[in-house]
Structure 1
Amino acid sequence: MDKVLLSIHIVIFGALLLFSRGKSFVQSSSSSHTHPNHTVTSCNASERSALLGFKAGLSDPAYLLSSWKGDECCKWKGVHCSTRNSHVVKLDLPGHGCDPNSDAWTQVLGGNISSSLLGLRHLQYLDLSCNGFYGVQVPEFLGSLHKLRYVDLSSLSFIGRIPPQLGNLSNLQYLNLNSEYFNAIYSMDITWLSQLTSLVHLDLSGTNLSTIVHWLPVVNMLPSLKVLHLINCNLRTSSASFQLSNLTSLETLDLSANGFHTHIARNWFWDLTSLKYLYVSSNGFYGQFPDEIGNMTSMVKLDLSSNNLVGMIPSNLKNICSLEEFFVHETNINGSITKFFQRLPSCSWNKLTYLSLASSNLTGRLPTKLEPLNNLIYLDISRNKLIGPMPLWIGELTKLTYLDLGYNNLDGFIHEGHLSGLESLEYLWLSDNSLTLTVNSTWVPPSSLTNIELQSCLLGPKFPPWLRWLTSLDNLDISNTSISDTVPDWFWITASTLYTLKMGHNKISGSLPSTIEFMGATAIDLGSNQFNGTIPKLPISLSDLNLSRNKLDGPLPLDFGTPNLMKLVLFDNSISGTIPSSFCKMRSLILLDISGNKLNGPIPDCSANTSTTNMTSMSILNLSLRNNNLSGEFPSFLQHCQELVFLDLPHNHFVGTLPTWIREKLPRLAFLRLRSNMFCGHIPEELMKLVKLQYLDLAYNNITGSIPKSIVNCKGMIETRDNYDDGGDALHHAFGFNDEWEHGPNELVTYTENFTVVTKGQERDYIQERSYTW
């Protein structure tokens, strides 16, 4: 899953680069008509009125248009006027909503796009991209602004049909309607495009075009077209036999993430030998890597990833001398990695910057000698079947920022010679190999490293001293690396900048410092170690915490200090005392597993807690409290847990009858274990009406009476997984968050389910690994 997300990130990155080129092209073509605002000293009164009418329909919470006052509208933010006649020719108001690194999500305009813009009869350039016009339709009236040459309405959360009136814009050179939400906008007839004969750049990505069969003949009527993006358009046909005549200028073609499901070699785009940028990933293409690739001598970037392609890349690539980026991850090359490198065009070796080969069934050893890829920035050969050592030539890739060799069968030693030359390296991912890091204790790694994943490599037994010098780390995974040591004090200072920290499955000892509270982490996994002492106050930003299978003792914190905590895994420690009432404040909690401890007393009644008198619901999906000394009646706070799927309370001292509200208040409950408690009374009929119930264990209690005949209505106990609806499938999400978990930057979570079920009087271990995204 993580590599599919990576593929999508790469496609988006490329699209943004090409967007910039297209934008600069049209801007330069109209530069003779505009000058910076400060050179203009007059403003057309009717156009000022039109702009104010447009502003009146907007929401502007951040006062982005605070300069829109006074008479001189040509000096207003985003407004550009002609120096010849002072008419408004450019309205440039992109928002910040497209910047994933920006905290300024409120720095956008919203509301409605008023038809008062029709008063700007000389308008040539309109950019409202990345703002917040949620649920608004693409305005029909834009088709009446006949002088428009550049229109960017991308990432505006539009809905509804694209108006065919846009076909009236005969001067249009740039049109970007890239939709933020897949299929939110649609078109059932794109013949209006054929009227835009001056169009150079077209982006309809995310538009639902599923009903349009003959889309290519329409596109072929755009002789000036250089850039075409139709990503995720639900296209079903690629018109393999169509004879092209007009697309001789096309340089960029992105058809990624459609549903063609056809032979890769039988496609019209192989005839476009002028193409420089071709992206056709995730389209269901199948067959051998086509020989036609060898004819694409102008190719700069080629993405064939995530298709059902088989066999080695063709041997006729020698004339592709401009190749800079090559993506073939998630294909089935099923051949030697050495042969793959040999078939790359030698004339482009010094030009290659991106090479992505992950999950392509590559085999053999990495070649011991290789011509240096002097400009390589990105190298991903992860999740293949590579064996042998990591060669020294990797250390010569001085411009490399991203290296992923994880999830192979590499072995041998890594020393300074492999890493010291990688002065620009930011991402080092070597997880799940049998590599041994043998660097000198005084070695200083490249200071640019921000992401390190060395899971299951051999680093120990000492705690790695070289981590001390990495002051800009974002993510660190050194789990299962044979470390048998205490954590040095300096590490918690280094770790203060981390977003994710994974050190599980080692033999790390010592206590957790109080300074952990000041970390900026969102996910920490220290499970299966030998940490002792009490749990300190946690980072305020923390959402995931795993401290299971350690030697922690003492009471739970009265206040965890984590208002947004979603997953708390503390099983198999020696934690004592009661569950604090602050638990009731953890409204974002989805998973709580504190089984196998020494907790006692009743579970807090959250509805009676004075600080939560207005509480309505809790988010918890999985609750495991088994093997403690908890007491009291069936937990009443569960009435506020409508989403609960997994409830595991065995081997405690709970008493009283089972509540009749269980069906009404826990409608999604699928797994219920109450064995070895002191519950009494009859089994309530309401319990048998839990339609999603799949596992029920009430053994070793004081329950009397007969089993209700209505148990036959519990269909969930006999259905296979293929019959589950989302509630039943949630059981698999909730099961056994009880051993180990991984939580990466892309919210991919892997759990190893490991708990005991009783079948026919025998206890059996249920062990299975599952991955999913929240």
Structure 2
Amino acid sequence: MKSITKSFFTVGLVFLELLVVADINFSFCNGSSHVGCVQSERKALLSFKQGLSYDPSNRLASWGGDGDCCRWAGVVCDNFTGHVIQLRLRNPHLEYFTDYEEEPYASSATIVAVYEAYERSMLGGKINPSLLDLKHLIYLDLSGNHFDGHDIPEFLGSIENLRYLNLSNAGFSGMIPQQLGNLSSLQNLDLNFEFQSSNDITVLHVENLFWLSGLSLLEHLDLSGVNLSKASDHWLPMTNTLSSLKVLQLSKCKLDQYHSLPLPMVNFSSSLTTLDLSDNRFSNHLILSWICDLSHLVFLNLGRNRFRGSIPVGLQNLTSLKHLDLTMNYFNSSIPKWLYGFSHLEYLSLRQNYLQGRISSGIGNLTSLERLDLSFNDQLVGSIPRSFGRLCNLRSISLSGIELSQEMCEILDIFSRCISNNLESLYIGGSQISGQFTDQLGKFKNLHTFYASENSISGPMPSSLGELSSLKFLIISSNKLNGTLSEIHFANITRLLVFDASENPLALTVSLDWIPRFQLAYLNLRSCNLGYRFPLWLQTQKFLEYIDISNSGISDNIPNPFWNILSRTYQLNLSCNNMYGPIPELTNASTLFVLDLSSNNFSGPLPLLHSNVSTVNFSNNTFSGSISQFLCYKTRESKKTEVLKLRFNSLAEELPDCWMNWPSLIILDLGNNKFTGSLPTSIGTLMMLESLRLRKNHFFGTIPVALNNCTELRVLDVSGNELVGIIPSWMGERFSSRMIILNLRSNKFHGFLPLELCRLASLQILDLADNNLFGVLPRCIKKHKCHGDNNISCEQRCMV
């Protein structure tokens, strides 16, 4: 879904390009006028191609041979002279990539696929100075490519006829060359740096912006994402010299306060229609007073700054506004009445401020509104006014996180008048909504996103839900919904991607052979009632990335076909059910990142996993036998697992000595099993380990010296074993700054307490009870809290 913002810019850009093309005397339609390319320019293009060492999709495959260079991909010539006038080498997937970056519920597989297509379509390498031989070049677009962090070439400032230059998101870095100020014919300059394919690229920056004074014909300037902090004191007067400027985009430029007084007289007050200063550091209203004189503005984005106080009354002068974004500032007034007079306004976002008071009935005057976002202003109170129903053009409504305190049926009644005809997105999560859904829900035929979580909505879901044929995202979690969801509730829903009804006493009752007409990417039915049978319809969902059906009342074994649908799944949570049976080998589930099967009745050996799994929780089951195969599978392959929880099972035998294969472990819990033998020395290779819990097993021998390599340890619990020897003095030395919990209770340690334990400066819990220790507890340790099941004091526990 494209935003109004992107659509507006696209229209503006196309219009600008048409103006550029209109100035050129050539035609794509008149084949009889075509004279073929100039040979010297053909040679220049081939030299340019030679510098582009990266072209994985062969976008420039047509560049070569004896063919006419005017017919090469991305090359546009004047049909009468044959001179190259345009190079259009924009990455064809750039627009799709940036769209999906902003899609809140886009599946990760979709984003990865879009990014991979974007990356495959990149050109890379170096820009050859042969471009200077294209004397008639007026249009150069290299956006969305990857030029390996090279500087923008200074010689681009010598292409004297250039009118359009777009190097946005093309992998350039370093300082923007001031030579670009020599392009006196330039009308469009886009160096946008917001979307980069690599974190290794240094941000583009400027030493100053004085070079802008040479671009007197400039109409479109986009430096978003460029570090302009060194130009904070003069960016305004310099851009103000551009009397023809129509579009000025300086988002995420690290611009700070503008303190200079008096403010410059506005030269482009009659031309500037688009201004984006979002994601900067502005806080005072000095810059706002300058903006309020830009009476022809159509688009204004001041979101994500630090403006405070009341929304400036001077903004009421901007009566031509169609897009106003004040997102994430510190405005703390009520919504001003004059704002309701902006009859042309199509986009309004006051999201995440500190606005107070009520939503006035005057909002009904904004009849051109297509997108409205008032969300996360937690001091906005009161119900949605009836006049809201007059906003028939609304496509997106965001009212999450404000205190509506309204019945769901009343909201549906207001919206169903004419809003339901066009509404695509409705966000009302966490807005203190109560009451029940009604059949009016079925009127919203174009609704693709419905977010109503964290309210107090009760009662059953109406069967009219099944009429929402456009629905893609349904999030109704953490309410009080009850009753039954059946097949009829999904009758005409064919596009559903995200379904989250978790934390509701809802029952999902469908036939065993039900095959949904949709393919989900995200499913969360945690703490719903799915019945005792495993939901077989899950086996029909081939693209699931997230599955959570924990605590859903299932008492069944898992059919083998289910494990075959995990090719894209990154999180699987089946915990807190009564599922049983063995788990098959999951070594092919390469995308699986989090696997939680805890608190069930699974049995047999631990399943082999792919090395990519980061979090594994098999606790509270009846897995049994040795874990040697599980731990030592593919010994030459390092596991990426950070959390491994196996407590409360029936695992037995000795721990194998192959922990060096698990270097990423941070949390390891093997407690409450039947392990025996001595602790393997390879545990000392777990350099990132922060928590080690081995309680209530049958380990014997001493604590291995190698454990002193685990200097990040914060929790060490070996209680309830048969460990012997003295408490190592190196514990106080090696764990001095990190250790919070040290539990050695119920072992066979003997001897005096080492004074080195006094160095455990962060220690909060120390339990040494039920050992063979003797002597007096050192004073430095008495201050620590103790953990135990009886009332014996710390000091008594450490005595003979």
* TM interval, short-chain normalised: 0.7 to 0.9
Q: What amino acid does structure 2 have at the position aligned with 1:296?
A: L
Which of 546, 553, 556 in structure 2 is aligned with 1:485? 556
Between the aligned residues of both structures, percent identity stands at 29
Does residue 285 of structure 1 match 2:358?
A: no
Which of 459, 462, 482 in structure 2 is aligned with 1:388? 459
Give 1:226-625 correspondences, 5 Å limit. Answer: 226-236=298-308, 239-245=311-317, 247-257=318-328, 259-266=329-336, 270=340, 272-308=342-378, 309-344=380-415, 346-370=417-441, 372-515=443-586, 517-518=588-589, 520-556=591-627, 557-560=630-633, 563-606=639-682, 618-625=687-694
Distance change in 2, residues 1:520/1:151 (3 Å): closer
Does residue 645 of structure 1 match 2:714?
A: yes
**CA deviation after TM superposition for structure 1 residue 233, in Å:** 3.5
- The residue number in structure 1 matching 2:273 is none
1:50-107 Cα shifts (integer Å, max 9, x gaps): 996x998x99697999889999998888776766684665675559685642247695
Q: What amino acid does structure 2 have at the position aligned with 1:631?
A: F
Alpha-carbon distance in structure 2 between the residues aligned to 1:619 and 1:253? 48
Q: What amino acid does structure 1 have at the position aligned with 2:710?
A: C
What TM-score do the two structures reach when normalised by structure 2?
0.77
Distance change in 2, residues 1:641/1:86 (3 Å): farther
The 10-residue stretch of structure 1 (406-415 or 65-74) with the greater mean CA deviation from structure 2: 65-74
Q: Highest Rg: 1 or 2?
A: 2
Contact 1:51 1:117 in 2 (8 A): no
Alpha-carbon distance in structure 1 between the residues aligned to 2:392 and 2:462? 26
Classify the secondary structure of the residue corresponding to 1:395: helix
**CA deviation after TM superposition for structure 1 residue 679, in Å:** 3.4
- The residue number in structure 2 matching 1:215 is 287
Classify the secondary structure of the residue corresponding to 1:30: helix
Classify the secondary structure of the residue corresponding to 1:385: coil
Q: What amino acid does structure 2 have at the position aligned with 1:619?
A: M
Alpha-carbon distance in structure 2 between the residues aligned to 1:68 and 1:701? 81
Alpha-carbon distance in structure 2 between the residues aligned to 1:141 and 1:375? 51
Contact 2:506 2:529 in 1 (8 A): yes
**CA deviation after TM superposition for structure 1 residue 532, in Å:** 0.3
Contact 2:163 2:187 in 1 (8 A): yes
- The residue number in structure 1 matching 2:210 is 165
Distance change in 2, residues 1:61/1:471 (3 Å): closer
1:409-441 Cα shifts (integer Å, max 9, x gaps): 011111111112212212111111111112122
- The residue number in structure 2 matching 1:678 is 748
- The residue number in structure 2 matching 1:149 is 188
Distance change in 2, residues 1:359/1:44 (3 Å): farther
- The residue number in structure 1 matching 2:761 is 691
Alpha-carbon distance in structure 1 between the residues aligned to 2:249 and 2:358? 30
Distance change in 2, residues 1:578/1:405 (3 Å): same
- The residue number in structure 1 matching 2:728 is 658
- The residue number in structure 2 matching 1:130 is 169
**CA deviation after TM superposition for structure 1 residue 676, in Å:** 2.1
Q: What amino acid does structure 1 have at the position aligned with 2:417?
A: S
**CA deviation after TM superposition for structure 1 residue 373, in Å:** 0.9
- The residue number in structure 1 matching 2:271 is none
**CA deviation after TM superposition for structure 1 residue 295, in Å:** 2.4
Alpha-carbon distance in structure 1 between the residues aligned to 2:488 and 2:226? 45
Alpha-carbon distance in structure 2 between the residues aligned to 1:74 and 1:664? 71
Alpha-carbon distance in structure 2 between the residues aligned to 1:286 and 1:378? 27
1:200-255 Cα shifts (integer Å, max 9, x gaps): 4444333334534222233345555433334433444665222554x444322333
The 10-residue stretch of structure 1 (394-403 or 561-570) with the greater mean CA deviation from structure 2: 561-570
Alpha-carbon distance in structure 2 between the residues aligned to 1:760 and 1:415? 55
Which of 155, 158, 173 in structure 2 is aligned with 1:116? 155
Classify the secondary structure of the residue corresponding to 1:175: strand
Classify the secondary structure of the residue corresponding to 1:242: helix
What TM-score do the two structures reach when normalised by structure 1?
0.80
**CA deviation after TM superposition for structure 1 residue 399, in Å:** 1.0
Classify the secondary structure of the residue corresponding to 1:287: strand
Alpha-carbon distance in structure 1 between the residues aligned to 2:226 and 2:427? 26
Q: What amino acid does structure 2 have at the position aligned with 1:216?
A: L
Contact 1:158 1:185 in 2 (8 A): no
Contact 1:187 1:207 in 2 (8 A): no
Distance change in 2, residues 1:226/1:85 (3 Å): farther
Classify the secondary structure of the residue corresponding to 2:443: coil
Contact 1:210 1:233 in 2 (8 A): no
The 10-residue stretch of structure 1 (449-458 or 208-217) with the greater mean CA deviation from structure 2: 208-217
Classify the secondary structure of the residue corresponding to 1:316: helix
The 10-residue stretch of structure 1 (547-556 or 533-542) with the greater mean CA deviation from structure 2: 533-542
Classify the secondary structure of the residue corresponding to 2:675: strand
Which residues of structure 1 form unaligned runs of 5+?
1-9, 609-614, 719-754, 764-774
1:614-663 Cα shifts (integer Å, max 9, x gaps): x7x73333222222222343344444434333332222233333242654
Of Structure 1 and Structure 2, which has the larger fraction of its residues in strand? 1
**CA deviation after TM superposition for structure 1 residue 597, in Å:** 1.1
Classify the secondary structure of the residue corresponding to 1:493: helix
Distance change in 2, residues 1:66/1:296 (3 Å): same
The 10-residue stretch of structure 1 (271-280 or 293-302) with the greater mean CA deviation from structure 2: 271-280
Which of 37, 44, 61 in structure 2 is aligned with 1:41? 37
Alpha-carbon distance in structure 1 between the residues aligned to 2:231 and 2:758? 46
**CA deviation after TM superposition for structure 1 residue 353, in Å:** 0.6
Alpha-carbon distance in structure 2 between the residues aligned to 1:271 and 1:193? 30
Contact 2:402 2:431 in 1 (8 A): yes
Classify the secondary structure of the residue corresponding to 2:372: strand
Alpha-carbon distance in structure 2 between the residues aligned to 1:459 and 1:577? 38
Alpha-carbon distance in structure 2 between the residues aligned to 1:673 and 1:68? 71
Distance change in 2, residues 1:196/1:381 (3 Å): farther
Alpha-carbon distance in structure 2 between the residues aligned to 1:761 and 1:209? 62
1:289-319 Cα shifts (integer Å, max 9, x gaps): 2444222221111111122222112222243
The 10-residue stretch of structure 1 (280-289 or 38-47) with the greater mean CA deviation from structure 2: 38-47
Distance change in 2, residues 1:675/1:23 (3 Å): farther
Give 1:76-115 correspondences, 5 Å limit. Answer: 86=83, 92-93=89-90, 100-101=111-112, 102-103=115-116, 108-109=146-147, 110-115=149-154
**CA deviation after TM superposition for structure 1 residue 370, in Å:** 4.5
Distance change in 2, residues 1:25/1:660 (3 Å): farther
Distance change in 2, residues 1:374/1:518 (3 Å): closer
1:126-153 Cα shifts (integer Å, max 9, x gaps): 333334446x345544444341414142
The number of equivalent residue pairs is: 701
Alpha-carbon distance in structure 2 between the residues aligned to 1:23 and 1:161? 25
Does residue 194 of structure 1 match 2:223?
A: no
Contact 1:425 1:449 in 2 (8 A): yes
Contact 1:509 1:532 in 2 (8 A): yes
Alpha-carbon distance in structure 1 between the residues aligned to 2:226 and 2:712? 29
**CA deviation after TM superposition for structure 1 residue 538, in Å:** 0.6
Alpha-carbon distance in structure 2 between the residues aligned to 1:596 and 1:331? 47
